[in-house]
Structure formats: structure tokens, C-alpha cells
Structure 1
Amino acid sequence: MRYELYYWTGIQGRGEYVRLALEDAGADYIDVARERGDNVLMPFLRGKREGAWPFAPPFLKAGRMVIAQTAAILAYLGPRLGLVPGGLSAEIYAQQLQQTISDFIVEIHDTHHPIAASQYYEEQRTPARKRAQVFRDERLPKFLDYFEQVLERGNGRQALSRHSYIDLSLFQLVAGLDYAFPNAMRRTQKRIPRLRALAKRIAERPNIAAYLASPRRIPFNEEGIFRHYPELDAR
């Protein structure tokens, strides 16, 4: 099957978690908006196409199905791409972990948009500083400690009993946080050796290494989820 991924151009965003799974598996897919422009998303978002009505991208077209929400897309792709161990328990646990990653992503986003996503960062700079301090001091270590223990309780190297889409998503988290909060991440270095080792191994996987070196991997920037504002990453 040839998959069609729909996500905004110019940013990695939540679509990147799906891209990493498709790239790692060597799946046949097209990143539709990058070839045809963002307007191609609008008929789906306005409910003008048959099938499920996505609230927002990313969404995936697989045959006649339209699947929205990152965690739901990965739950669908995981067994089909060999990116989750077999068995219902493993699949449900993977979904649980991906939903927790989604929760973390919301908190990361809200460090630079604590009031409203519709307002520019510059309009909410003061509350963003306060939100980012709480994030750096409390939420960042809480989530990273949890995922470090997930790896420890697994086999020490991976979240599940073998390589999965969760490992790819954890790689993206670490890479994004290194970009957005380099000072805070340096302070956590000794607390997350397993996460660090996992991120390094994922970056070296042949398909992922090729993807990261290609123009398909959009650089982190100040339009996406992971944004580097020095004032939010105080030493």
C-alpha cells in the first residue's frame, strides 16, 4: 500500500512522529502537502471528503481510510510496518506510551504559547517565561525520568521488548528538547543515560540516518513545537 501523509509544510510538528515511522520502515508514502501545497489539506479539514473527518493534521490516508491524531496513526501503522511487538498487550502499552508522549508535547508547546495558540509568542513573552521555568524545574525532569524508567523496565535499551515506533518518538523528543532547551537538557544529562543511548542508536539506524541527512528532514525552527528562545532556557 502507498500511504498518503497530510501535514503542514515548513515544520516538523506532530507529523514528524509519523514520518519517522514511515521512513524507518522504508514504507511507500507521499508527503502530500510538500508536493502540492498546504491547500490540499483543506477539503479534509472542512469535511468535504468521504470518511473520517479530521480536526487537524496530521492525518494519514490508507486506501479509503482517513486516520487522524498522531497516536492513532501510529497505532494503525505499528503492526503493519513491524514497529510494535506482537500481541494485544504490547500494542495497548505502545498506545499508552505514545499518548503520554503526546501529553508531553502539549506541555512543551505551551512553554512558548501559554495563553493562546492564536497569539504570537511576542504577545505572551512574560507568562511564557513563568511557564518555561516551571517546565524546566518540574515537568521536564518528571517526564524524562518516567521515560528513562520505561527503558529500564523494558530491556534497558528499548521501550518495548524490541524496536518500536515508541523508540522513534522518544528519539524525536530528545532531539527537539536538545534544540529548544539545550541548557536544561545538559543539566539532565546524567539522569537519562538510557534515553541518550537510545537516541544515538536511532539516529544511526540506516533508514533514519539517510532521512536525517536528506532534505525531507526539515530543520527545527521557531514555527514548530520545539522552539529555541534563549530567555525560556535560562541557565
Structure 2
Amino acid sequence: MTYELYYWDGIPGRGEFARLALEQAGADYVDVARTDGGMARMMAMMKTKTSGFTPFAPPFLKDGDLVISHAANILLYLGNRLGLAPDDEAGRITANGLQLGITDFVAEVHDVHHPIGVSLYFEDQKDEALRRAEDFRGERLPKFLSYFEKQLAKNGQGQVHALCHALSYVDLSLFHLVEGLRYAFPNTMAAAEPEYPLLVALNAQVRDLPRIKAYLASERRLAFNEQGIFRYYPELDAS
């Protein structure tokens, strides 16, 4: 059965975490909002008044009659089905916990450029964003990256993985996280990356996976831009 992924067209966003897992697994899926009439279908699903689960916002995944919302929850569901999660319950819970940590960090990245409200333009909250960016670069970014670096260090020598010496959806998500940070904060990341060699190694390792390499070179891969979570505003980056 074909998975149906629902997310806004034109931005990688939170939907990219699910896309990377589906692509790496070679799963049969459709990115619904990018098909003819897909956006209307997505909006209709969020407004349905019929019985059953109604998602609040994308991303959400439809597998038959089942609808799963939120990136971490989608990956918890897909993990075993795609061979991208540990087989044991403890491992799956650990993977979900790490993914939820990534979710928390992504929310903080977003709030750098929109610290007051999502309904306001960046220019309407620029002063607050400048203050938020300084704290983010100096405190929050190193706090989160250090945490993930320590997790990678637990798995010894050889290839770098977040869990169990095997590729998981957490590795794919950390790849996307680093890519997004490099786009949004290029100067900050250039200075910081020597402190996180395992995250850098994992990023390169995932980029070189045959299916991921093919995906990144395809039209299915959406470019970062100033409409998504990771946005580049030079004044928010380190000089």
C-alpha cells in the first residue's frame, strides 16, 4: 500500500524528516500536496467533521485508514516498518526520545526568526529576533549539539550512529538538522562544527547513502528558503 505524506508544498520543513525515512527505505509514497489538487485534499482533511482522527496541522501520514500526525510520531510508526528503528521496545522508546529532542530543537530554531508570533512578518519582530538569535547562538545551539554529539559518542568506533550501531531514522533526522542549521546560520556553524566531529561525520555518512544521494539530486528534494523553519537572515547569524 502506498503511504500518503501530507505537508506544505514548497518547503522541506518538518515533513522532510518523514521524507528522508521513506526515501532511504525505498518506500512507495506520494507527497500529496505536490500533486494536482493535493493542497485542497490536505486542507480538507484538517477540516473534516467526520468521526475519527482529524490532524491539527501537517505533517501527517495516511496509511490505509490510519492517520498519524507529528513528525516524531510518524517516525515512531514507520521506524520498524521501514527497518529504521531498533527491534526492541527499549530501543524504540530511546529513538523516539531522541527524535522528540530534535523536535524541541527545531522549534527553537523557528523561534529565532519568529520570537513573538507566527502571524507577524520577520520585519515586525526584528529587534526581538536579534536578541533571540544571540541567545540561540551562544547558549541553545551548543547545548543541543553537545547533547547529540555525546549520544553519537556512545556507539564506539566505525560508522557513526545514534543507536545500536545501525542506521536509524534518528540519523537521518540529525542529517537534516545539520543541513538546516548550515543554511540558516552558515557562519555560526562553520565556527562550531570542529567541536562536533561526530555530527559532521554522520552528516557526510548519510549524504553518501545511495538512496539519499539520489534523492538529494532529484526534484523531490525541496530547497531551503525563507518560508520554512530554517531561514537565512544574515543579521541573525554570527559575523
**Is the Cα–Cα contact under 8 Å of residues 171 and 199 in structure 1 kept in the other structure?**
yes
When normalised by structure 2's length, the TM-score is 0.96
Q: Does 2:206 align with 1:205?
A: no
Q: Which residue of 2 aligns with 1:18?
A: 18
CA drift of 1:48 comes to 3.8
Offset at 1:84?
0.7
Given that residues 148 and 192 in structure 1 are in contact (C-alpha distance below 8 angstroms), is that contact kept between their aligned partners in structure 2?
A: yes
Equivalent residues in 2 for 1:78-227, closer than 5 Å? 78-155=79-156, 157-161=160-164, 162-227=166-231
Tell me the distance in 2 between the aligned counterparts of 1:135 and 1:155.
Answer: 30
What secondary structure, in the 3-state scheme, does the structure 2 residue paired with 1:66 have?
A: strand
Consecutive unaligned residues of structure 1, counting only runs of 5 or more, are none
**Range that drifts further, 72-81 or 45-54:** 45-54
Amino acid at match of 1:233: D
* Counterparts of 1:79 and 1:209, CA distance in 2: 23
Greater shift in the superposed pair: 96-105 or 155-164: 155-164
User: Could you tell me how far apart the structure 2 residues matched to 1:93 and 1:42 are?
Assistant: 33
2:2 alignment partner in structure 1: 2
CA distance in 1, matches of 2:199, 2:230: 18
- Shift in Å at residue 47 of structure 1? 2.6
CA RMSD of aligned residues (A): 1.0
Deviation of residue 155 (structure 1)?
3.6
2-side partners of 1:4 and 1:48: how far apart? 20
Please say which of residues 111-120 and 152-161 is displaced more in the overlay.
152-161
**Runs of 4 or more off by more than 2 Å in structure 1?**
47-51
- Superposed CA deviations along residues 206-230 of structure 1, whole A, max 9, x for unmatched, are 1000000001101100000000000
Which consecutive residues of structure 2, in runs of 5 or more, have no partner in the other structure?
A: none
1:234 offset after TM fit, Å? 2.5
- TM-score with structure 1 setting the length: 0.98
Q: One-letter code of the match for 2:6? A: Y
Matched length: 235
Structure 1 residue matching 2:35: 3-state secondary structure: helix
Amino acid at match of 2:24: D
Structure 1 residues 46, 142: closer, same or farther in 2, change over 3 A? Answer: same
Deviations 1:81-102 (CA, angstroms, capped at 9, x unpaired): 0001210000000000000000
For residues 193 and 57 of structure 2, what CA distance do their matches in structure 1 show? 35
SS class of match (1:5): strand
Query: Deviation of residue 53 (structure 1)?
Result: 1.2
Opposite residue 159 of structure 1, the aligned amino acid is A
Secondary structure of the equivalent of 2:52?
coil
